Amino acid sequence: MKTLSRGAWVAILIGMVALTAAILLWMGRVPICTCGYVKLWHGVVVSSENSQHLTDWYTPSHVIHGILFYGVLHLLFPTAGLLPRLALATIVEAAWEITENTNMVINRYREATIALDYYGDSVINSVADILAMWVGFWLASRLPVWVTVALVVVLEIGVGWMIRDNLTLNVLMLLWPLESVKAWQAGG
C-alpha cells in the first residue's frame, strides 16, 4: 500500500477542519460572535462572548487534549507517522466540537455547571479549538515527556486558579456534577 505524501495529509487535515466548520454552520452555529467582531483573546468567562472569539480561558483545555491524544495514539499506534496520528486526533477533537454544540450538551453545561449564559461556540472558536489541539499535539511530539506533563499540570492549576474551572473540573461537572464544586466555582 502506498503511503500518502505530507501534502496529502495536510490537505486531509484542512479538509477535516473545513468539514467540521460546515457541519457546525449547518447545525445553526454562528460563524463569529454575534457582537460582530472577532477578538484574538476574550478573558471574561461569565459573558455572552465567551467561546465566541479565537481564544479564551478554555483554549488551554484544547492544548491539553492535543497532548493527551498524542500520548494515547503514540502508545496505540507507535509505528504510525505523526500526521496519520494527528488525523485521528483531529477526528476525535472535531467530533467533540460537534457534540459540544448540540442542544443536549449545551443544556447540560447550563444545568450542571456555572455556564448559565453558555449557548454554544461560534464556528471560529471551534476551529480555533481544533488548532489549539494541534498545538498541544505538536508540543507533545517535540518536548520531553516530563515537560509535557509539567505543562499540563501548570495549565490545569493556572486556569483553575484564574477562573475556577479547567479541563478536569469541566469533565467532572459534565459527568458527575457536585453541588459543592458548583458553589465553589460560583465564588461561594
Q: Would residue 161 count as lying in a domain?
A: yes
Q: What is the pLDDT of residue 188?
A: 56
Q: Would residue 131 count as lying in a domain?
A: yes
Q: Would residue 83 count as lying in a domain?
A: yes
Q: What is the pLDDT of residue 1?
A: 46
Q: Would residue 132 count as lying in a domain?
A: yes
Are 85 and 156 spatial neighbours (Cβ–Cβ below 8 Å)? no
Q: What is the pLDDT of residue 76?
A: 98
Q: Would residue 139 count as lying in a domain?
A: yes
Are 117 and 165 spatial neighbours (Cβ–Cβ below 8 Å)? no
Q: Would residue 36 count as lying in a domain?
A: no
Q: State the Cα–Cα distance between residues 147 and 39, nearest whole angstrom.
A: 30
Q: How many domains does the chain have?
A: 1
* Residue percentage of the chain with pLDDT more than 70: 97
Which residues of the chain fall below pLDDT 70? 1-2, 114-116, 188
Q: State the Cα–Cα distance between residues 160 and 49, nearest whole angstrom.
A: 20
Helix (H, G, I), strand (E, B), or coil: what is residue 159? helix
Q: Which three cell numbers stand for residue 33?
A: 460572535
Q: Would residue 17 count as lying in a domain?
A: no
The residue range of the domain holding 67 is 49-185
Are 23 and 130 spatial neighbours (Cβ–Cβ below 8 Å)? no
Q: State the Cα–Cα distance between residues 20 and 24, nearest whole angstrom.
A: 6
Instruction: Please enumerate, as own/partner, the contacts of 138-147 that have beta carbons within 8 Å and a separation of 24 or more.
Output: 138/66, 139/63, 139/66, 139/67, 140/66, 140/67, 140/70, 140/71, 141/70, 141/82
